[in-house]
Amino acid sequence: MILIVDDTPENLISLKKVLEKYDFEVDTASSGEEALKKVLKNSYVLIILDVQMPGMDGFEVAEAISGYSKAKETAIIFLSAANTEFKFIAKGYSSGGLDYITKPVDMNILLLKVQTFYRIYEQSRKLNEMQKTLLEEIEFRKEAERKKDEFISIASHELKTPLTSVKGYVQLLERSINKGDTDTIRKHLGKAQVQLEKLNSLIADLLDISKIESGKLKFNKQDFSLDQLLDNVIEVMHQSNPEFKINKKGYAKCDIYGDEMRIEQVIINFLTNAMKYSPGTDEINLTVNVKDNELYLAVKDSGIGMSPEQQKNVFEKFYRVEETSQRFQGLGIGLYIASEIIKRHGGQIGVNSSYGEGSEFYFIMPTNLSTEV
Ligand code: ADP
């Protein structure tokens, strides 16, 4: 928008008419004081400012405006009937003006100038936008780099923990073998095996991440019995976590078309998290049903729960709830992989949770989608 400031009403009207004829949006002020008020309220691309006005003259107005952050980008053209001496023109430029036109105004010249200022303004606006986008992109890189570094340090730590345990059990085994103590040997072997399993699943998750990144996560889809899969999973989970009771409600009662191992991985991730993030509790509910060729599976715990903000991010790569990240071990990639698996089965993954009261993770997927997603 252009602001014309002139104390002579005829000048205001005639300038306004010409500019509006060329589709410029125009506002007017009949004194320096009124102009300052308007500049505070509105954004102008250009101000055409009469120099000789009672009260504040044009130079004073320009000086005051140059102090407003809002008008930083605003161009000023002075209009002056007299004072064409060089020192006045110089004063105009030094008080923030970008151009100086003497009256009587040649409308063609003024229009050319207005159009040029508009073009410059548009270009500088675009440049500013580009600069902003570039800065944001740089920040986003930087942020990705920081997350990667943090992830490498957590991953190394997570891998080192079971590895150190295995090393310890192997040393103990050596001693027990020397003593010929078979019971203890069996116990240590069992414990080493649990730690090796942990190591294996951590490495498998890391490999999955790199497969997802490179688009190489492949699925081997065929019909399988979900009810049988659930029975097996519940039995295995119960063996390694006997303190938890998993209450299963419902049946699929039909075959599901999908990658059995990958769907199992999602369910194990839900159950493992439900146990990990629910200290002091001993029950988990697993609900399953199939309706209208759609499978619904949910795992509900009564653990620490999550705030709405945390729920929004929980399927993001590397996301871990900050306030509990020290208390519970993890890499923050299990749910990201799970969501990728469900998406690639044409389904949806989600969570309902209340902070301090527990969480319910669920997925919905078609039971017979045969096309590759
Ligand atoms: P990890 O558990 O290895 O950190 P996940 O991707 O499985 O990674 O989970 C991401 C984050 O979501 C966890 O760090 C935790 O903060 C939160 N979370 C996952 N499951 C639950 C749950 N059942 N209850 C509360 N918070 C959970």
Instruction: Report the CATH number that the domain containing residue 162 is assigned in CATH.
Output: 1.10.287.130
* Band (149; pLDDT cuts 50, 70, 90): confident
Nearest alpha carbon to residue 79 among 61, 105, 53, 98: 105
Say how many Å lie between the CA of residue 131 and the centre of ligand 1. 37
Average pLDDT score over residue span 81-103: 69
Contacts of 257 (CB under 8 A, 6+ apart): 221, 222, 223, 367, 368, 369, 370
Instruction: Report the CATH number that the domain containing residue 69 is assigned in CATH.
Output: 3.40.50.2300
Average pLDDT score over residue span 3-31: 93
- With residue 296 as reference, give the H or E element that holds it: strand 294-300
Contacts of 265 (CB under 8 A, 6+ apart): 337, 338, 341
Q: Tokens representing 124?
A: 């500088």
In this structure, are 95 and 8 located in the same domain? yes
User: Tens digits of per-residue pLDDT, 337-352?
Assistant: 999 999 999 999 999 9
Decide which of 214, 239, 261 is a domain's last residue: 214
Query: According to the model, what pLDDT value does residue 122 have?
Result: 84
Q: At what angle do helices 58-66 and 32-41 cross, to 10 degrees?
A: 20
Of the chain, the percentage scoring pLDDT greater than 70 comes to 94
Q: Is residue 349 part of a domain?
A: yes
User: Tens digits of per-residue pLDDT, 52-67?
Assistant: 899 888 888 888 887 7
**Alpha helices in the chain, H assignment, sequence order:** 9-21, 32-41, 58-66, 86-94, 107-179, 182-213, 226-240, 260-276, 308-313, 334-343
Query: According to the model, what pLDDT value does residue 133 have?
Result: 95
Average pLDDT score over residue span 31-42: 92
Helix (H, G, I), strand (E, B) or coil at 225: strand
Ligand 1 in reach of 304 Cβ (< 6 A) = yes
Query: According to the model, what pLDDT value does residue 334 have?
Result: 95
User: Tens digits of per-residue pLDDT, 192-209?
Assistant: 998 999 899 899 999 999
Q: Is residue 114 part of a domain?
A: no
CA 321 to ligand 1: nearest atom: 16
Mean pLDDT of the chain: 90
How far is Cα 258 from Cα 225, in angstroms, rounded to an integer? 10
Query: According to the model, what pLDDT value does residue 107 have?
Result: 87
> DSSP for 2-51?
EEEE-S-HHHHHHHHHHHHHTT--EEEESSHHHHHHHHHHS--SEEEEES
Ligand 1 in reach of 155 Cβ (< 6 A) = no
In this structure, are 358 and 244 located in the same domain? yes
Ligand 1 in reach of 303 Cβ (< 6 A) = yes
Q: Tokens representing 174?
A: 């050596």
Cβ atoms within 10 Å of 198's Cβ, excluding its own: 18
Decide which of 105, 134, 156 is a domain's last residue: 105
Domain coverage including residue 160: 144-214
User: Tens digits of per-residue pLDDT, 71-84?
Assistant: 777 888 988 875 56
Q: Is residue 44 part of a domain?
A: yes
Ligand 1 in reach of 359 Cβ (< 6 A) = yes
In this structure, are 209 and 240 located in the same domain? no
User: Tens digits of per-residue pLDDT, 304-332?
Assistant: 999 999 999 999 988 999 889 889 989 99
Ligand 1 in reach of 314 Cβ (< 6 A) = yes
CA 324 to ligand 1: nearest atom: 16
CA 274 to ligand 1: nearest atom: 23
* Band (152; pLDDT cuts 50, 70, 90): confident
Ligand 1 in reach of 320 Cβ (< 6 A) = yes
Query: According to the model, what pLDDT value does residue 190 have?
Result: 93
Which one of 241, 310, 314 would you pick to mutate in the ligand 1 pocket, going by the greatest count of ligand atoms within 8 A of its CB? 314
Decide which of 107 and 289 is more confident: 289
Instruction: Output the residue whose Cα is nearest ligand 1's atom 11.
Output: 320
Decide which of 70 and 314 is more confident: 314
Nearest alpha carbon to residue 248 among 261, 263, 267, 224: 267
Which one of 320, 342, 360, 362 would you pick to mutate in the ligand 1 pocket, going by the greatest count of ligand atoms within 8 A of its CB? 320
Ligand 1 in reach of 324 Cβ (< 6 A) = yes
Which one of 158, 277, 315 would you pick to mutate in the ligand 1 pocket, going by the greatest count of ligand atoms within 8 A of its CB? 277
Ligand 1 in reach of 306 Cβ (< 6 A) = yes
Decide which of 188, 214, 240 is a domain's last residue: 214
Ligand 1 in reach of 198 Cβ (< 6 A) = no
How far is Cα 174 from Cα 158, in angstroms, rounded to an integer? 25
In this structure, are 194 and 234 located in the same domain? no
Say how many Å lie between the CA of residue 2 and the centre of ligand 1. 55
As for how many domains the chain has, the answer is 3
Q: Is residue 343 part of a domain?
A: yes
In this structure, are 359 and 257 located in the same domain? yes
Say how many Å lie between the CA of residue 162 and the centre of ligand 1. 20
pLDDT at 363 over 90: yes
User: Tens digits of per-residue pLDDT, 155-173?
Assistant: 898 899 999 999 999 999 9
Ligand 1 in reach of 321 Cβ (< 6 A) = yes
CA-to-CA dists, residue 53 to 2, 8, 75, 213, angstroms: 19, 9, 19, 67
Say how many Å lie between the CA of residue 273 and the centre of ligand 1. 6
